[in-house]
């Protein structure tokens, strides 16, 4: 059950809570994912900043560099103490951050 989270609302519900004045520059499906147990490798929606505003994209829950694919499960979290220097997340830290909208988290 490690690294599971809950995303059961529609994207518009999360956007209402954020109350951002930035424009959404991508289309999105407001149909809720409705899952109380999202496991790594599930496709989920994330919110991230782009030059024109904010984008919502469906992504694979988990990330790994090309050389690490298939060698171990894709990591879904990192320690804040090592995220800027570790092999896996170092290149993402300066400009690869995104918001994963969630209603709960299981660890």
Residues involved in catalysis = 2, 107
- CATH code for the domain of 37: 3.90.1680.10
How far is Cα 35 from Cα 7, in angstroms, rounded to an integer?
Answer: 6
**2 pLDDT more than 70:** no
Instruction: List the Cα angle 47/89/83 in 5-degree steps.
Output: 100
* Residue 30: predicted pLDDT: 78
Structural domain boundaries enclosing 8: 4-106
* Number of compact structural domains in the chain: 1
**91 pLDDT more than 80:** no
**25 pLDDT more than 70:** yes
* Residue 7: predicted pLDDT: 82
Contact between residue 70 and residue 62 where contact means Cβ atoms under 8 Å apart: no
The CA-atom distances, in angstroms, between 6 and each of 9, 95, 103 are 9, 26, 5
Two structure tokens written together for 28: 């999105």
What are the tens digits of pLDDT across the range 35-88? 778 877 788 888 888 888 888 888 877 766 677 777 777 666 667 777 777 766
């Amino acid at each position: 059950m490690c690294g599971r989270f809950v995303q059961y609302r529609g994207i518009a519900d999360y956007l209402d809570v954020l109350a951002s004045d930035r424009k959404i520059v991508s289309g999105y499906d407001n149909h809720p994912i409705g899952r109380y147990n999202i496991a790594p490798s599930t496709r989920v929606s994330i919110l991230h900043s782009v030059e024109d505003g904010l984008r919502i994209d469906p992504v694979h829950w988990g990330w790994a560099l090309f050389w690490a694919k298939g060698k171990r499960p894709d990591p879904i979290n990192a320690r804040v103490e090592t995220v800027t220097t570790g092999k896996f997340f170092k290149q993402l830290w300066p400009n690869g951050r995104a918001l994963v909208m969630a209603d709960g988290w299981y660890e």
